[in-house]
Structure formats: C-alpha cells, structure tokens
Amino acid sequence: MSAHETYLLDRAVTENSHRLDTYRAAGGYETLEKVLKDPVEPKQVIEELKDSGLRGRGGAGFPTGLKLSFMPDVEKDPRPRYLAINADESEPGTCKDRVLMREDPHGLIEGILITCWAIRAKASYVYVRGEYRHEYDRVAQALEEARAAGLVGKNVLGTDFSCEIFMHKGAGAYICGEETGLMESLEGKRGHPRPKPPFPAGFGLWGSPTTVNNVETIFNVPFIIQRGAAWYRTMGTAKSPGNFLCGISGHVERPGVYEVPLGIPARQIIEEIAGGVWKGRELKAWIPGGSSTGLMPASTIDTPMDHDSLKEAGSMLGTGAIIALDETACVVRASEVIARFYDHESCGQCSQCREGTQWLYQVFSRIEHGHGRVEDVELLESLANGMAPGKTICALADAAAIPTHAVVRHFRDELLQHVELGRCPFDGNGGEGTATRREPAGASA
Amino acid sequence: MALPQTLVSELDELVTHYPEARAALIPALHRCQEELGGWISPETMEDMAAYFDLEPVEVYGVVTFYPMFRTSPPGRHVVSVCHNVSCDLRGAREILARVCEVTGAEKGATSPDGKFTVTTVECQGACTSAPMFDLDGTYHEDLSLEDVDRILGGVEA
C-alpha cells in the first residue's frame, strides 16, 4: 500500500472510537473550543475552507467554502438559518459515510458545530437514510453524550453560541439524497426535488436560508480549521485537494472503504490497495464513482481519481465508489441492473425522467434477455439524449443517461453481440457463483 | 382506532424538533410501523392525518412514496435482499433464490405459514461487504449460501 498521510480514518480504527471520552482523548472538540473562544470569526472559517479547496464529497464536487459563502448576511436577513447533513447515502456502490457515522460520530458532530458557527445557524438536521438504523443510533447516542457534556444545545462550552442538532430518519427513497428532495422530505412531504432557483441558501428549509452538505464533507471541516488550508493542500491535487474515502466493491480480492489522496490512479486502488481482481482474473470494466458515473473499459484505469481527470475521461468522481467487473461479467446485465435502479427511484415529476428511465430499463432488459434489435443501440442513445442534460428538475435523469452513453460508447460490440446471438454470451453472468440463467434468457437461445 | 398514548407522547416530543409539526410525519410513520404490526394501515393513516391536521390523502401520498413504508401487513419476519449492482456482482441472485427456498416465500410475498416476507431492495449501502440482506432491521453482510441457511434457520417462529 502506498505511504500517504491519512486523517479521515485514523480514529475510526481505535477501540470504542464512537465514544466521547475516546474522541476527547484524541484531541476531539479542541478545534471547536478554539473556534468559539479565540474566537475564529465565522468569515475566517469560511475563508479557510475556501483556501483549502475542499470540494463536496456527496457527488457533485462543489467547492464547500463557496457554498457556505452563499448564505445571506446575518445582519441583513433575520430569518432562521439551517444546516442539513445529507446522510442519505444511496448511490449504488457507496458506503463510506456509513463508516464515519458508525465509527467516528463525534467527528461529524464537531464538524456540524463548526459549520453552524460559520453560517450562523442555530439548528442542524442530520438526514440519515432509514435503512442505516445502527448508524443512526450511533450518531444519536453520540449526540446525547455531547449534549450532556455541554457541547450541543444552549451556550455551547459556556459561550454565547447555541446550536441544536436533530436526527431525522428517511424512508428509503434515493431521490432524497438530492438536496432539494432532501429538504422536501425533511418537511414531511414526498421527496420531489424543487426547481432551482431559488437555491437553498436563499430559500431552503421552511423558506429559510439553508446549506446542505454531505457527511464526509463536514467531517473534513475540523481537520482543515485545526491544521490549516496549507496543510490540506499538501494532499491531493491542486484542484481537488485532500484525501477521500474510496469504497471499492465488486470483483476485487479486498473490497472495502479506504482513505486515499485525490488524484491517486484508479489502478493503484484496484491492483494494490484492494488486492487486485479476484481469482486471478482480468479486469474488464470499472465504474469510478457510483453507478451514475458509468462503466469504463479496463484500459482507462490509469486515470487519476480526481474531479477534473475523470471528467476529462468522460466520467465523474461522483461519490468515489469504485465498482470492479471481471472478465466473466456481463456489462449489459450490469447496465440492466443500474437502469432498473433509476427507473425504481425516479420521483415521477418530470416526464423525460419518469418515462425515460422506464424505457432504458426495458431496452437494456430485452437486449440482455435475447430479445434486442440492432436499432436498440441507437434507441438507447436517443433516449438518453432526450433525458439529459438540463432537461429535468434534478439530475436523476442525468444519472441514468450518463451510464447509458458510457456503455454504448465503450461496449457497443457487446450490446450487438447480445442482439446477434439472441442471448447473453455470458449466460447473464453477474459474477462468480451466479451461473443460474435468468428467465427468460434461455427462451430464445 | 386511536393511537396508543405512549406513542402520542413520543410524537408530542418529536414535533418540538421542528418549526413546523408536519416535518415529523416521516419519523412518526416509522414509529407507527414499528409499533403497530409492521405496516401502515388505513386507520393509522387517518390517525396520522388527524394528529398532523392533514387530509388523509396527503398522508397516503407520503406513505406510498417511500419504499420503506408497507401498506399491507408483512410476515412475522422480513428479509430484504439487496439486488443492486455491487451485490449482483457477488452473487445476490443465488442468495435471493436460497432465501426464497429456505423461507418458503416467493419474492415480494409472504410464506404460507406467515413467518417470512421476502423482498428485494435497492442498494442498502453495504456494497463493500456484498452480498447482503436485512433481517428485521439488522444487516447481515458478506453472505454465503451457508450463512443464509444458518441465519434464517435460527429465526424463532
């Protein structure tokens, strides 16, 4: 494994890492104390985050300091202000925030408190996906400890700063990971994303200024404030500084969540850190950052894992979740599963997405099961072009269109091979141990 | 049917977390489902509507939007098998087939003895320890077929 500096998971590996006394023994909440008592003015906190170059870890990679600076001037805008934490981790392949919530919940809480100070919010909501019961309980218990210790609630650490943090449970809808869908859901409604503008900083939760940030993003904040932007920039690349949590799943020997610097070549993660493709096989394809970032051919694994390099390569860093497919796997089947997901999760507001995701699933499905037509390949592209970009309220349509374009661009031959054979040449193989042919794959073979 | 008083007291506290009471609706529905038989009955929807001062159809709209809420009673135990891409690559189909075989339930249905409901679910965020299922709210990860037999075989009636 490469010898790079780490910080995100250093505490997570210690015993009882989720407890307040463990966290404090490691210097926890000292940064908060310094910020509140020195004090470090809210504007200075935001400036430091801007200088650090921290970019959101939820998928879009938006500069965090800049996002926080969009909150209106507190002197001119008397409305309440909110910080919402997006812990609705649902992008297929992604399970990194789960590790932070479970093993280091106080790190998240300290990040929330410092960020609330910076945007002058007195309340924060942690929106956790409903399935993460254990992780929800861990953060809730940590909050209880923090509240009892005077770290959360009225007059934090005896200062004038008061901040409440509330847990909030989602109920299984992917779309609530979209920031405006999350806000609707937090208000007790269906998770229908809102048209933008207005943006959350101007009109967010209950019509008040709101910032929505991902768990890992906020987890970075205390480190940057404590050690400085210059330190942060010693890791990663000029445009994507810092480390990130890479979850790697699929056909590798050691799947897991690993802390790596941005800009690390995907090859190093797949071949060294994750132990290479399993069973001594060859890599056929990989997905760089969650299912919406699309299948890439194995020939591209020297691409550095940062926002700009992956964009240049026709993909995205997304949530930094790599999924590896070995030579026995079928990319059409993987595409069918991914298309099914976006069909299932479309909220139904926009016809391009509601109908488009359904069509994509049907077309991928019939190709995989031996009923495809040669013109289906063009149909897939035409459908994807009709859905995105910029044709719908939110980016879910894009999330379904991008992997469609990717599989047509990189694996056209395999799509056509399915059509010509009238069946899946890999027996619908999703991977090792899944040799049972799916219905109705055998029907036309 | 009226809501149990203990649940009402809990909801009374829950709504204080938000500037508008309705925001507590989804957490409240979770508590109802946990306490009232594992599903949201039409009566519960009416009770929730009365509590939150909403039309019952608004509650219905929320309940049916979110996959975790059930609108029919499940078996005594619920097995949710992830079938998204990371799990699919590590044998989720075989796991699902074995779960159905062991429980006697078909996918999306309840076993004839009412013991198990088996469903497929989209990504549960356990991708690096695939394949997985959730049994009554607890994750079981990195599953082999033998694990399925052992875990489900050990479930009390």
What SS3 string covers chain A? Answer: CCCCCCCCCCCCCCCCCCCHHHHHHCCCCHHHHHHHHCCCCHHHHHHHHHHHCCECCCCCCCEHHHHHHCCCCCCCCCCCCEEEEEECCCCCCCCCHHHHHHHCHHHHHHHHHHHHHHHCCCEEEEEECCCCHHHHHHHHHHHHHHHHCCCCECCHHHCCCCEEEEEEECCCCHHHHCHHHHHHHHCCCCCCCCCCCCCCCCCCHHHCCEEEEEHHHHHHHHHHHHHCHHHHCCCECCCCECEEEEEEEECECCCEEEEEECCCEHHHHHHHHCCCEHHHCCEEEEECCCHHHCCEEHHHCCCECCHHHHHHCCCCCCCCCEEEEECCCCHHHHHHHHHHHHHHHCCCCCHHHHHHHHHHHHHHHHHHCCCCCCCHHHHHHHHHHHHCCCCCCCCHHHHHHHHHHHHHHHHHHHHHHHHHHCCCCCCCCCCCCCCCCCCCCCCCC
Judged against a pLDDT cut of 60, whether residue A444 lies above it is answered with no
**Res B1: pLDDT:** 59
**Res A427: pLDDT:** 76
**Res A2: pLDDT:** 54
Secondary structure (3-state) at B90: coil
Measured between CA atoms, the residue of chain B closest to residue A439 is B93
Q: How many residues does chain B have?
A: 157
**Res A1: pLDDT:** 45
The whole-angstrom separation of Cα A402 and Cα A332 is 15
Higher pLDDT, A439 or B155: B155
ipTM of this predicted structure: 0.97
Rounded mean pLDDT, A136-146: 98
**Res A214: pLDDT:** 98
Contact across the interface for B65 and A191, Cβ inside 8 Å? yes
Rounded mean pLDDT, A137-141: 98
Q: Please list, residue by residue across A71-97, b when 16 or more beta carbons sit within 10 angstroms of its beta carbon and e when fewer do.
A: bbeeeeeeebbbbbbbbbbbbbbbbbb
Same domain, B53 and B107: no
Are the C-beta atoms of B67 and A171 separated by less than 8 Å?
Answer: yes
Q: Is position B115 within any domain?
A: yes
**Res B157: pLDDT:** 81
Nearest one of B27, B78, B144 to A186, comparing CA atoms? B27
The whole-angstrom separation of Cα A90 and Cα B37 is 27
The position carrying tokens 């890479």 is A246
How much is the mean pLDDT over chain B? Answer: 97
Q: Which of B24, B41, B65 lies at the terminal end of a domain, its last residue?
A: B65
Q: Is B107 on the interface with A (CB under 8 A)?
A: no
**In Å, how far is B32's CA from the nearest CA of chain A?**
13
Q: Is B34 on the interface with A (CB under 8 A)?
A: no
Give the fold, CATH level 3, of A11-232.
Answer: Rossmann fold (3.40.50)
The whole-angstrom separation of Cα A369 and Cα A441 is 4
Rounded mean pLDDT, A344-362: 98
Rounded mean pLDDT, A113-123: 98
**Res A95: pLDDT:** 97
Q: Which sequence spans correspond to the domains of chain A? A: 11-232, 243-326, 331-421
> Matching CATH topology for A11-232 and A331-421?
no
Q: Are strands B77-82 and B133-135 parallel, antiparallel or unpaired?
A: antiparallel
Same domain, B14 and B40: yes
Rounded mean pLDDT, A185-205: 98
Helix axes B145-153, B92-103, angle to 10 degrees: 30
Secondary structure (3-state) at B116: strand
Which tokens is A93 given? 């392949």
Q: Is position B24 within any domain?
A: yes
Contact across the interface for B128 and A248, Cβ inside 8 Å? yes
From chain A, the residues in CB contact with B127 under 8 A are 92-95, 247, 249, 255, 321, 323
Probe site for chain B from A79, A99, A127, A131 (most B CB atoms < 10 A): A131
The count of other CB atoms within 10 Å of the CB of residue A445 is 12
Full domain range(s) for residue B82: 77-153
The tens digit of pLDDT for each residue in A289-339 reads 999 999 999 999 999 999 999 999 999 999 999 999 999 999 999 999 999
**Res B2: pLDDT:** 83
**In Å, how far is B107's CA from the nearest CA of chain A?**
14
Among 1.20.1440.230, 1.10.510.10, 2.40.50.100, 1.10.240.10, name the CATH number for the domain at A331-421: 1.20.1440.230
Contact across the interface for B125 and A131, Cβ inside 8 Å? yes
Q: Which of B14, B37, B65 lies at the terminal end of a domain, its last residue?
A: B65
Contact across the interface for A172 and B68, Cβ inside 8 Å? yes
**Res A391: pLDDT:** 97
Judged against a pLDDT cut of 60, whether residue A435 lies above it is answered with no
Same domain, B52 and B82: no
Q: Is position B71 within any domain?
A: no
Judged against a pLDDT cut of 90, whether residue A3 lies above it is answered with no
Same domain, B46 and B97: no
Same domain, B55 and B85: no
Q: Is position B42 within any domain?
A: yes
Q: Is position B108 within any domain?
A: yes
Long-range CB pairs of B39-45 (<8 Å, 24+ gap) are B39/B69, B39/B70, B39/B71, B39/B72, B39/B73, B39/B74, B40/B69, B40/B70, B40/B71, B41/B73, B43/B1, B44/B1, B44/B3
CA B31 to the chain's CA centroid = 12
Judged against a pLDDT cut of 60, whether residue A13 lies above it is answered with yes
**Res A436: pLDDT:** 34
The count of other CB atoms within 10 Å of the CB of residue A194 is 19
Q: Is A338 on the interface with B (CB under 8 A)?
A: yes
Q: Which of B43, B65, B87 lies at the terminal end of a domain, its last residue?
A: B65
The position carrying tokens 């998770």 is A191
Rounded mean pLDDT, A42-69: 98
Q: Is B57 on the interface with A (CB under 8 A)?
A: no
Which tokens is A13 given? 């590996």
What strands lie across the sheet with B109-110, from one edge to the other?
Answer: B109-110, B116-121, B77-82, B133-135, B138-140
Number of structural domains chain B divides into = 2
Q: Is position B58 within any domain?
A: yes
Query: For chain B, how many helices (H) and strands (E)?
Result: 7, 5
Same domain, B113 and B143: yes
From chain A, the residues in CB contact with B65 under 8 A are 173, 190-191, 347
Q: Is A320 on the interface with B (CB under 8 A)?
A: no
**pTM for this entry:** 0.96
**Res B121: pLDDT:** 97
Same domain, B82 and B135: yes
The answer to whether domain A243-326 has CATH 3.40.50.2300 is: no
Measured between CA atoms, the residue of chain B closest to residue A437 is B93
> How does residue A433 score in pLDDT terms, banded at 50, 70 and 90?
very low
**In Å, how far is B92's CA from the nearest CA of chain A?**
8
Same domain, B93 and B61: no
Nearest one of A354, A337, A365 to B82, comparing CA atoms? A337
Contact across the interface for B84 and A133, Cβ inside 8 Å? no
**In Å, how far is A54's CA from the nearest CA of chain B?**
24
**In Å, how far is B6's CA from the nearest CA of chain A?**
20
The whole-angstrom separation of Cα A24 and Cα A260 is 25
Q: What are the φ/ψ torsions at residue A273 (nearest 5 degrees)?
A: -65, -45
C-alpha angle A409-A415-A421 in degrees, rounded to nearest 5: 155
**Res A339: pLDDT:** 98
Same domain, B10 and B57: yes
Which tokens is A322 given? 């790599």
**Res A429: pLDDT:** 60
DSSP summary character for residue B22: G
Q: Is A251 on the interface with B (CB under 8 A)?
A: yes
CATH number assigned to the domain comprising residue B28: 1.10.10.1590
Q: Is A166 on the interface with B (CB under 8 A)?
A: yes
The whole-angstrom separation of Cα A21 and Cα A1 is 31
Same domain, B22 and B45: yes
Percentage of residues in chain B with pLDDT exceeding 70?
A: 99
Judged against a pLDDT cut of 60, whether residue A438 lies above it is answered with no
> How does residue A437 score in pLDDT terms, banded at 50, 70 and 90?
very low
Same domain, B81 and B148: yes
DSSP summary character for residue B55: -
Rounded mean pLDDT, B24-41: 97
The tens digit of pLDDT for each residue in A143-176 reads 999 999 999 999 999 999 999 999 999 999 999 9
From chain A, the residues in CB contact with B29 under 8 A are 171
The whole-angstrom separation of Cα A57 and Cα A260 is 13
Q: Is position B72 within any domain?
A: no
**Res A431: pLDDT:** 43
Q: Is position B85 within any domain?
A: yes
Higher pLDDT, A439 or A297: A297
Q: Is A293 on the interface with B (CB under 8 A)?
A: no
**B154 membership: H or E segment, kind and range:** none
From chain A, the residues in CB contact with B88 under 8 A are 333-334, 337, 430-431, 434
Contact across the interface for B88 and A334, Cβ inside 8 Å? yes
Same domain, B47 and B113: no
